[in-house]
Amino acid sequence: MAKFVIRRHFSLAHLGEGWESCYIDLSPLSYAEKQAWTSYKGKTPEDNALHTLNTIKDHFLDGKAGSDKGIVPMTADELPDLPEVVLVDCVDLLKGEGLSANFTTPSSEPSAE
């Protein structure tokens, strides 16, 4: 069976100056993945946090972030370096809950970048 990839675009412009064109693209959890993820019970809170972070990384598609070198491509391994509030929003996006104005479906129009 094919894995369906749905791209959700999360703008990071709300992080402030220099982040206006930054974003994270994630693929939301499937129904089966959400059931497995929400039923996960780690032995410690750290286990649960690591499981959540790994789930975000597994669904990371693309991103750009502000840095001391300007706007740079982001990798899944760099996600833990972002503010915690961004990761909480990533969880909401993965679960399809609390979708805010920062979450969109990318346009089919070509990017100006």
Query: Taking 50 as the threshold, does the pLDDT of residue 87 lie above it?
Result: yes
Q: Is residue 96 part of a domain?
A: yes
Query: Taking 80 as the threshold, does the pLDDT of residue 38 lie above it?
Result: yes
- Alpha-carbon distance of 37 to 4, in angstroms, equals 18
Question: Looking at the whole model, is its pTM more than 0.85?
Answer: no
Q: Is residue 76 part of a domain?
A: yes
- Alpha-carbon distance of 51 to 8, in angstroms, equals 21
- Looking at the structure of the chain, the number of domains it has is 1
Q: Is residue 106 part of a domain?
A: no
- Each residue of 10-24: pLDDT tens digit? 899 988 898 999 999
Query: Taking 60 as the threshold, does the pLDDT of residue 67 lie above it?
Result: yes
Residue 12: how many other CB atoms lie within 10 Å: 22
Residue 27 tokens, joined: 């693929």
What mean pLDDT, rounded, does the chain reach? 84
pLDDT band at 108 (very low <50, low <70, confident <90, very high): very low
What are the E-state strand segments in 8-52? 8-11, 23-26
Tell which residue, 2, 5, 1, 4, has the closest CA to residue 62: 5
Q: Is residue 108 part of a domain?
A: no
Q: Show the domain range for 26.
A: 8-101
Q: Is residue 111 part of a domain?
A: no
Higher pLDDT, residue 1 or 76: 76
**pLDDT score, position 83:** 87
Q: Is residue 107 part of a domain?
A: no
- Alpha-carbon distance of 24 to 39, in angstroms, equals 26
Q: Is residue 84 part of a domain?
A: yes
Q: Is residue 39 part of a domain?
A: yes
